[in-house]
Amino acid sequence: MTDAPQQTTLAQISYADFEKVEIRVGRITRAEAYPEARKPAYKLWLDFGPEIGEKRSSAQITKHYTPEALVGRQVLAMVNFPARQIGKMISEVLVLGVPDATGEVVLIGPGHDVPLGGKLF
C-alpha cells in the first residue's frame, strides 16, 4: 500500500476578486543584463499598447533566455501591482512565468501574436 500524495488546500477567491487582477499582454522591446541585481536578472522594457504604454521590469530569467532572444517576444505580466524598487531600478510590472523541473523561470505568453494590452480572462 502506498501513501497517496497530499493535496494542498487552495484559498478560494470570488470572480470579482479575479476581475481586479490586470494580467495583460506586452511585447518586450528592449532587454539588457542587470549586473547590479542581487541574483542574475535582466532589465526589460515592455510595450502594452496605447492604453497602458511602455513599462519596465526586472526579471530573473537568465537561465533560459538571452536579451537578444527576448526582444519581440510577447509575454503576460501583471500590470496593477505597485511599482517596486529592484536594485537601482523601479520595476513597474510583474512578468509572469512558471518553474521548470529545476525551478528556473519559463515565461508565459500567448501561443499566437495577439493585440498588445489584451487582458487575460
Q: State the average pLDDT over residues 53-80.
A: 97
> Shortest CA distance to 47 belongs to which of 21, 71, 19?
71
71-87 average pLDDT score: 95
CATH code for the domain defined by 21-107 = 2.40.50.140
Query: How many other CB atoms sit within 10 Å of the CB of residue 35?
Result: 8
Question: How far is Cα 27 from Cα 36, in angstroms, rounded to an integer?
Answer: 24
Grid cell in block for residue 107? 515565461
The per-residue pLDDT for 1 is: 56
pTM over 0.75: yes
Question: How sure is the predictor about 6, in pLDDT bands with cuts at 50, 70 and 90?
Answer: confident
pLDDT tens digits, 40-51? 999 999 999 999
Q: How far is CA 75 from CA 1, 20, 36, 85, in A?
A: 44, 19, 24, 21
Span 73-91, average pLDDT: 94
What pLDDT, on the 0 to 100 scale, is given for residue 48? 98
